[in-house]
Amino acid sequence: MAEEKKTNTAPAKAVTAVKKDETEQGFFQKVGKWFREMKSELKKVIWPTPKTLRNNTLISLGMMVISSIVIWGFDEFAQMVVRLIFRLG
């Protein structure tokens, strides 16, 4: 017959929640904590290379120019329509 594997299933340990210290922090302690947290988050950021930054900037500027030309075109068309309406009226 096949041997059965016996597994040791010990009961899980009880987890007790750790209660945070409920004392109010001072202003400068809060500011210091904020700067420490900000510094640790900035270490996680993947900063772009100069080439990537330049490409993204040029794409953004190009899209702004194209968008402004399209909006200008719609504005000119709307002005023509309004002038035509005033001439007919």
pLDDT at residue 5 in the model: 62
Q: What confidence tens digit (pLDDT) does each residue in 20-56 have?
A: 656 788 999 999 999 999 999 999 999 999 999 999 9
Dihedral sign, Cα of residue 59, residue 64, residue 70, residue 73: negative
Residue 74, both tokens? 């719609």
Tell me the one-letter amino acid at 4.
Answer: E
d(CA 58, CA 1): 74
Q: Using a cut of 0.75, tell me whether the model's pTM lies above it.
A: no
Q: Where are the beta strands (DSSP E) in the chain?
A: none
Provide the residue ranges of all domains of the chain, joining segments of one domain with +. 48-89
